[in-house]
Amino acid sequence: MAKTILAVAVGETPRELSLNTATPDLSTVRPYITGLISWLKKPNQDRVDPPPPDNKPPPYEIPGNYSIVYRERPIAGLAAAFQDATALGADLWFCMSTSVARNADAVAKAQGLVKPIVAIVSDPFSETFGNNVSGVSADRDRLAIRCYRQFRRRVPAVKNVFALHRSGYSPSEKARQWVGKNVIRYLLQMMKTSRPRYKHRSTIRPCRKKVFWFFPRTDSSESPT
């Protein structure tokens, strides 16, 4: 019997797609979905990155082996994305950011579910996920300083560099610590949707100058939520 994967990402407005054909339209979904489908359908010997599991699973393809219910939800609506009949009936939850994974894990714990959850997060070692959660570390908080150095090597004459920062959100806070005083922080204020508003820590005037913006990717599918 074909399995169902529920894949969830943060989005400005709620949307849902059913990926259940041999050649699903992936033009409007997150790139993680393309990678997931591509990896699953490869022969085991070709699964190099990430490496194949020890039990050597066969190739899996849509629609014969599985289908994907793809959802995007505002941050305030993430928990609800895992609580309806479709979510509860899915065989696996695929979470494309730390924010999504935290909500999925909280719902699973609250309802006593042992459903497998695959999470792509910035820093899994700082999370308290249940034993049913596995996945990939995007390691983006540590990559922030590397990206900044690469940026400065390409444009060494730049004097003012600004970075977006979501205060109180651990991946963004850690990225800020790695970057340190190299950039000027702009606070990202989240509304009820995921549309960000930007506010400088002291004044908006520097934005009128010729500056460069540095966007540290502090989460897995959206930045920096």
Helix (H) or strand (E) holding 5: strand 3-10
Tell me how far apart the alpha carbons of residues 178 and 182 are, in angstroms, rounded to a whole number: 9
pLDDT tens for each residue of 84-131: 999 999 999 999 998 999 999 999 999 999 999 999 987 787 889 999
Among the residues of the chain, which ranges form H helices? 31-41, 85-89, 98-111, 140-154, 170-179
**Residue-level pLDDT, tens digit, the chain, 225 residues:** 899 999 999 999 999 999 999 999 999 999 999 999 998 998 877 777 666 667 777 899 999 999 999 999 999 999 999 999 999 999 999 999 989 999 999 999 999 999 999 999 877 878 899 999 998 776 666 667 777 788 888 888 877 777 776 677 666 777 777 777 666 554 444 433 344 443 434 333 333 444 444 444 444 444 433
Tell whether pTM > 0.75: no
Main-chain dihedrals φ then ψ at residue 87, nearest 5 degrees: -65, -45
Q: DSSP 3-state assignment of 209?
A: coil
**What is the DSSP code string of 117-170?**
EEEEES-GGG----TTEEEEE--HHHHHHHHHHHHHHHSTT---EEEEE-TT-H
